[in-house]
Amino acid sequence: MDTAEKSYQALGEKRSRGDGKVKVTGQATYAVEYQPENVVHGVVIQSTVASGRITRIETEKARQAPGVLAVYTHLNSLKINKPTAIADGGAAQSTYTPIQDDKIIHNGQNIGLVVAETFEQATWAASLVEVEYETTPALVFPDDPRAERQESSATNIDLGDAHQAMAQAEVRISGRYATPREYNVPMEPHACIASWQDDRMTVWEPSQWVMGAQTEIAEWLGIEQKQVRIISPYVGGGFGSKPVPYTHVALACVASRALGRPIKVSLTRPQTFTGLGGRPATIQNLEMGASRDGKILAIIHDGLSDTSLIDTFAEATNKVTGRLYAVPNVYSRHYVAAINTVTPGWMRAPGENPATYGLEVAMDEMACALDIDPLEFRLRNWADRDYQLDAPWSTRRLKEAYAAGAAAFGWEKRSMAPRSMREGRELIGWGMATATYPVSRSPAEAKLIFHRDGSLVVQSAGADIGTGTYTILAQTAAEVLQIPSTQIRVELGDSDLPRAGVAGGSQLAGNLTAAVHKTAEAMRDKLFTLATESPDSPLFQVERDGLILREGAVCVKQQPDRAIRYDKLVALNDSLTLSVLSGTFSEEESEEDRDQAVHSMSKMTRPEAFSAHSWGAHFVEVRVDEDFGTVRVRRMVSAFDSGRLYNPQLARSQWIGGMVMGLGQALLEGGVIDPRNARVINNNLADYLIAVNADVPDIIAIDVGEPDYHATLMGGKAVGELGIVGMAAAISNAVYHATGKRVRDLPLSLDKLI
Ligand code: MCN
Ligand code: MOS
């Protein structure tokens, strides 16, 4: 009966995280918590100027300090080869190779490594290294006119004739929207152990993409990918900052190879602010023209983000400009400006996030200019298909999201005029914005192994960075094989496991549930074969068509008593286990092609005949203290369409996690860069503010999705990054509604409001 089926806790059902208990009880081992024998400790030295070259580096005192084994700088360099950037089909976010020369291109650049028997000894010795520089003027901010600008043409939009349509529009608004450098600051800082042994490099490294890490490390060291193994079963958050290893990992690897000992290198929290990037600062100019009755006629939009002097990372501010609404004329360009900074990188919804901030604040400004309710204004510009791609939507339950969110929030009670709602000293503001994130797909493999005791193991190299991969893959296998998902063991995050790509672009859930589903189906076939072709089976020579799987057994559909349990089938098999390796690669694809696909992003695609995206609508209430300018978010209500949910409980956690991060982005986050020397001043968790419990109100997250099989095999769409997209705009719009003051640069700190 039904209750028995429910207990499978299979795909689509609510279930707590399988890895939850080991994480909260401290049993989960993170990268630097491994204790290899004979391990030594490395401490990174970072530059204190932004531009120029090292003229003197004095390491003698450090070398003489207790416990020190080596001090590596460009003067006694260990060779590190330049890796291939992601943009060029490789896996490196930054192509900077430390200690190869005396050049300084950003403040906080890794310029040396001190290795000692203990962490304390290495830290002390590092403090004894003296460095002198010859400095040259630094480019600190992206709008510095001396900074070289490059068009990032991949995201150009040329729809209709935007300039002509703009000139004819009855109502026009324009604004300059800015977001600061933001940092991912995961709980687990960036730290690794590298161990060179028998011509193999093993690296315990927190990773969103173990096969990307394998690629980059092999390139650095000039060895084969298969000589590198990455172990990363648990990751204490990444938020886009752990797709690939950074230069401290390169230093750890070459030092381990040189010294013949395993080495731990852990960046301090301040060092993480320049040991890797974060979301680049963005500046956008957006002009919108509309008719009096509220139809948008034209958008002219240019954006700028900063990058380093050696790599081009584009935080494309025009990723949503042509797509959210039915706008016939759009012209948009994005540029990158090269400055003295560490190469920036991914942070939750790179591109979509600042892009939606600009567009969705502009939408609010236009709604105000037209005196139309902001939600009504969006509905008047409803895009019935993707105008930019000229394709139908796969599914777009955005109207449902608007309706459900507005109803739960009580949006219809909103007054149009700013400053029209208050309670005591507090001004009350209501704002809203749209959320969106595209569906990407990459092929992957999985392995299923039944043991003689009937237990099942699911394996994949993919990561669980706190998202729920462990859990949903057990649920996927449970759905096909009809056993409780809680009894299935899942093994992840190891480059020796079956091929998988990145936990990035909110696609891993779709990619891996598809791979595990296909593999589970292949396992079902194998079970049927064993059941019907083994002479010792009670189902010997039974027609396969008449068989089903139920409660851990192969059964005859019409005669439920005629059955054989999986453990018995494994025993009929010749070997100790029964295993299947399969997935979503097409059968013709060679081993080399498959390797290439998971070690770069070359096989990542978007659905073609349909434009597939997740959608959402945010509604927020803020309270602004009129005297102090402090903003409190009092209510957040969002409704989302992420297609089929593989696990509604975990999807909700992801959505609200994104919403909270959006709250931090709106009110608190922002790197403060010293204009004199391009140092990140607030490079720690006391000064770089992120939202904490006390900042976060009750949150309502509503699911309005339905399965979308054009988007993915299993019907789900993107979840992980969706919740943050548009949240900063919704809060900005609410703050305007409360105060009548339009602030166009984040964060909305109190100094900007009084
Ligand atoms: N899910 C679901 N139904 C779907 C899709 C997903 O129930 N249709 C749930 C599953 O629990 C799944 C999770 O949502 O494990 C995330 O799935 P998906 O959207 O495919 O995202 P990825 O697995 O690719 O994870 C990466 C994504 C990204 S890109 C960032 S950035 C981010 C995010 O996930 N970083 C995170 N969420 C994070 N959550 C935590 N705790 N830590 C991070 O670093
Ligand atoms: Mo997410 S920023 O794509 O890792």
- What are the pLDDT digits (tens) for 543-569? 999 999 999 999 999 998 899 999 999
Mean pLDDT, the chain, integer: 96
Distance CA 388, CA 325 (A): 10
Which atom of ligand 2 is found nearest the CA of 208? 4
Q: 602: pLDDT confidence band, cut at 50, 70 and 90? A: confident
- pLDDT at residue 635 is higher than 70: yes
Ligand 1 atom with minimal separation from the 348 CA = 31
Centre of ligand 2 to C-alpha 191, Å, is 19
- What does the pLDDT average to over 382-399? 97
Residue 546 gets which letter from DSSP?
A: G
Measured distance CA(736)–CA(419) in Å, rounded: 8
Out of 241, 348, 441, give the residue to mutate to test ligand 2, the one with the largest number of ligand atoms within 8 Å of its CB: 348
* pLDDT-wise least confident of 168-172, 487-491, 597-601: 597-601
**Residue 6 binned pLDDT confidence (cut-offs 50, 70, 90):** low
The reply to whether ligand 2 has any atom less than 6 angstroms from the CB of 504 is yes
Q: Is 69 strand, coil or helix?
A: strand
Residue type, 251: L
* pLDDT confidence of residue 575: 86
Of 109, 86, 87, the closest CA to residue 96 belongs to: 109
For the Cβ of 112 lying below 6 angstroms from any atom of ligand 1, the answer is no
Nearest atom in ligand 1 to 242's CA? 44
pLDDT value of position 87: 86
| Under 8 Å between Cβ of 342 and 281 | no
Please, which pLDDT band fits residue 571 given cuts at 50, 70 and 90?
Answer: very high
Record the tokens describing residue 141, joined without a space: 């901010």
Distances (CA, A) of 102 to 88, 111, 248: 26, 8, 17
- Distance from the alpha carbon of residue 269 to the mean position of ligand 2, in angstroms: 20
Condensed to tens digits (0 to 9), the pLDDT of residues 608-629 reads 899 999 999 999 999 999 999 9
Average pLDDT of the segment spanning 649-667: 98
CA distances from 645 to 19, 389, 475, 619 (A): 19, 26, 12, 22
Q: Which of 347, 719, 721, 724 to mutate to test the pocket of ligand 1 (most atoms within 8 A of CB)?
A: 719
Distance CA 380, CA 325 (A): 9
Supply the DSSP string of 666-699, one letter for each residue.
HHT----B-TTT--BTT-STTTS----GGG---E
- Does 55 have pLDDT greater than 80? yes
Predicted pLDDT at 7: 80
Which is nearest to 430 in space by CA: 743, 696, 753, 733? Answer: 733
- Is the pTM above the cut of 0.95? yes
613 CA → ligand 1 middle, Å: 15
Tell which atom from ligand 2 comes closest to the C-alpha of 502. Answer: 4
What integer pLDDT is reported at residue 3 of this predicted model? 46
406-449, pLDDT tens digit by residue? Answer: 999 999 999 999 999 999 999 999 999 999 999 999 999 999 99
Q: Cα(604)–Cα(292) distance, rounded to whole angstroms?
A: 43
What confidence tens digit (pLDDT) does each residue in 309-365 have? 999 999 999 999 999 999 999 999 999 999 999 999 999 999 999 999 999 999 999
Sign of the alpha-carbon dihedral angle for 4, 7, 11, 12? positive
Average pLDDT over every residue of 256-265: 98
Cα of 654 vs centre of ligand 1, distance in Å, is 6
Atom of ligand 2 nearest to the CA of 238: 4
Residue 4 has pLDDT above 60, yes or no: no
C-beta 322 within 6 A of ligand 2 = no
How far apart are the CA of 93 and the centre of ligand 2, in A?
12
Please list, in sequence order, all residues whose beta carbon lies within 8 angstroms of the beta carbon of residue 246, skipping any fewer than 6 positions away: 93, 94, 190, 275, 276
Return the pLDDT at 574: 82
- Residue 630: exposure state from Cβ atoms within 10 A (0-12, 13-18, ≥19): middle
User: Which residue owns the Cα nearest ligand 1 atom 9?
Assistant: 651
Q: Is residue 120 flagged as an active site residue?
A: no
- Could you say which ligand is closest to the alpha carbon of residue 468? 1
408's tokens = 């739960």
Which ligand is closest to the CA of 722, given by its number? 1
Structure tokens at 453: 């005791």
**Does residue 747 surpass a pLDDT of 80?**
yes
What confidence tens digit (pLDDT) does each residue in 75-120 have? 999 999 999 999 888 999 999 999 999 999 999 999 999 999 999 9
466 lines ligand 1 (CB under 6 A): yes
Residue 234: how many CA atoms within 13 Å on its side-chain side?
Answer: 20
How large is the average pLDDT for residues 728-750?
A: 97
**Residue 702 clears pLDDT 60, i.e. is over it:** yes
Say if the ipTM goes beyond 0.85: yes
Look at ligand 1, atom 6, and give the residue with the nearest C-alpha: 719
Reported as half-sphere exposure (CB side, CA atoms, 13 A), residue 492 has a value of: 35
- pLDDT of 2 over the 70 cut: no
Ligand 1 center to residue 652 CA distance, Å?
10
